Structure 1
Amino acid sequence: MAFIEVKDITKNYQVYKREKGFANNVKSLFHREYTIKEAVKHINFNIEEGESVGYIGMNGAGKSTTIKMLAGVLTPTSGSINVGGIIPYEQRKENARQMGAVFGQRSRLNWDLPMTDTFELYRRMYNINYERFKENVNFYTELLDMGEFINRPVRQLSLGEKMRANLAIAFLHDPRVVYLDEPTIGLDVVAKAKIREFIREINSKNRITIMLTTHDMADIEKICDRLIFIHHGEVFYDGQVTAFKETYGAAYKISVICPEQLHNVQEGLSLLSCEDNKYTFEGDKRILSIEHALALLTGQGKLISSLQVEEASIESIVMNIVGYAKQKTNRVEEG
């Protein structure tokens, strides 16, 4: 049995159908018409304990709705969810004890208290053994580099410091699963790197199940091994991050600076542009590997002063998939 089991869940909302005009406004006082919005459509997936999973999709795809159902905040319209033997929306207290959560910039910290007091507050809330509590506080303080600000009121902390503090709170009670929604939003490069490293290490060291939703695809690549991509409320892809890139991101670019003329040498590698001695080639991994393409270009006996390879990122792949889906939908509607 998987740690998280999601079976054929749907989530529908009634949306009030508002019409213009005074007469319609009066009419709505006595009789309202509603439409049904399908936020999540028959989603299925299983997650094993200790996995790190990226859960991605465009705005309105159903990511946050799914996470809220897993957290026990929302009840599915149909289908079932089981997290560690608990039905989240029926056993909310038990589910809350086994989970942690960080939702973007929505802080769980007390504005006027220093982190030391906030830690103590959460120790009492979760009834954490005192020895284990001290061990965790010391561990997360060191791992997240919070020593410099742990005794300062939260209102004096920077955004990056608050995010690190929220992460420490989420992991403090040794949860079995942690849901992270945009944990690096608004942070600088250094802060993002520190948080990604922390999440990856905790997942590896303590085998805590991580489910991450984000619009920063670099978070997915640095933290997660598995990717679930939903589109219009349905699962489009569920598998390894590497397999996703290989399947949907076969294209790559090679930029070469060379004062001598380079030429296209094989099928699967085409010249896109040539300007000021800079050649840009586009290749297809399904026809020609990057290693083979580089060997062919450097083996021409030319004086190459610079060479750069750019593979498709998860972000570019997702944008291409969404763009293709929109074009397909438009063609169907026009037809």
Structure 2
Amino acid sequence: MAIIEAENLSRDFQVFEQAGRFRRRKRTVHAVREVNLTVEPGEAVGYIGANGAGKSTTIKMLTGILVPSSGSVTVCGFNPVPQRRDLARRIGVVFGQRSQLWWDLPLQDSFPILGAMHRVPTSEWKPRLDDLVARMDLGSFLTTPVRQLSLGQRMRGEVAAALLHRPELVILDEPTIGLDMISKESLRQFLDFERREHGTTLLLTTHDMSDIQRLCRRVLVVDDGAIAFDGALTALAEMEGATRTMVVDLVEPVHDPAGLPLPVGATHSGVEAQGIRHNITFDSRQVSAAALLAAISSTAEVADLSLHEPDIEYLVRQLYGSSKR
């Protein structure tokens, strides 16, 4: 059974705007437009889009906070709004700019309260907490009031709180916002471990494209309330016609790029180290990396090579641009 299954999911809002000095008129805003979405158990899915694209509205419908205007959705087998309490025991939610911890209490005091709220026996949540404390290195600040924690410490506490009751689905909204690089990588490693070891499904919304590249194999791009793309990052690159770069180090230098003939779809973008290193850009829709390497090897001996994928931020900007045209 799919963890998330949405069919023609839509949400409209009525807003009032000034229509004259003494008049206002009502306008309908289509925040989410007929979204069709299926997420299988154990998947890690990035849900990305510009501010106002409809990401937060979708999450609120998935968690039962908002009622859809039309369409249907089930999460963990539940209808989110009428079965919101049952659903809350099966999902975990982390909001980067909101807290589910008790602000004035020591961090450790929040977990018994959360265990009771989710109706998890002490015999179950206590060993789980011990594991989370060890894996997320929470021990040094468990007795510190939440309001005195650094942002990185608080976010680790937030993730532990969301995972305490072993949810099937964890929804993360900007989980690494404001964190330094070390804290970000530590959190990413833990989330990836949780998915691999326990089959936890991750739905991640973020503006930090490094989070998507590190955690997600599948990405959904939402634009103006509708899904503009659903697939792998590599498929996004192919759809947008982005070029990849192969950096080749030769055994013997080739100073003139003409001495290293390339197949159609590949071009030289630079020669370095006195002809030893060649930077070659290529369109994978026209020529594969293997075919390009074979063409180079037929002319010169290759000592080393590396492949550089297109930047995901560039791909998303390209996708937004094409959807506006």
Q: What is the TM-score normalised by the length of structure 1?
A: 0.86
Letter in 1 for 2:177: I
Task: Confirm whether residue 54 of structure 1 aligns to residue 46 of structure 2.
Answer: yes
1:87 corresponds in structure 2 to 79
Superposed CA offset, 1:157-214 (max 9, x none): 2111111100000011122211111111121221111111111111122222211111
1:256 positional shift:
6.0
2:11 corresponds in structure 1 to 11
1:325 positional shift:
2.7
1:161 corresponds in structure 2 to 153
1:235 corresponds in structure 2 to 227
1:307 positional shift:
5.9
Pair 1:93–1:284, CA change in 2 (3 A): same
Which segments of 5 or more consecutive residues in structure 1 lack a partner in the other structure?
A: 329-335
Which segments of 5 or more consecutive residues in structure 2 lack a partner in the other structure?
A: none
1:270 corresponds in structure 2 to 267
1:333 corresponds in structure 2 to none
Letter in 1 for 2:203: M
Sequence identity percentage: 39
1:293 positional shift:
2.8
Task: Confirm whether residue 199 of structure 1 aligns to residue 197 of structure 2.
Answer: no
Letter in 2 for 1:202: E
Q: How many pairs does the alignment contain?
A: 318
- What secondary structure does 2:220 align onto? strand
2:312 to 314, 321, 331: 314
1:105 positional shift:
2.5
2:244 corresponds in structure 1 to 252
1:281 positional shift:
2.9
Distance 2:52 2:197 in 1: 34
1:142 to 126, 130, 134: 134
- What secondary structure does 1:254 align onto? strand
Maintained 8 Å contact 1:259/1:303? no
Letter in 2 for 1:285: S
1:286 corresponds in structure 2 to 285
Distance 1:283 1:210 in 2: 33
Distance 2:130 2:106 in 1: 15
1:41 positional shift:
0.6
Letter in 1 for 2:83: Q
Alignment of 1:91-106 (within 5 A): 91-106=83-98
> What is the RMSD of the two structures over their aligned residues, measured on CA atoms?
2.5
2:178 corresponds in structure 1 to 186
1:226 positional shift:
2.2
Pair 1:251–1:290, CA change in 2 (3 A): same
Q: What is the TM-score normalised by the length of structure 2?
A: 0.88
1:237 positional shift:
2.2
1:77 to 54, 69, 72: 69
Alignment of 1:113-152 (within 5 A): 113-152=105-144
- What secondary structure does 2:82 align onto? coil
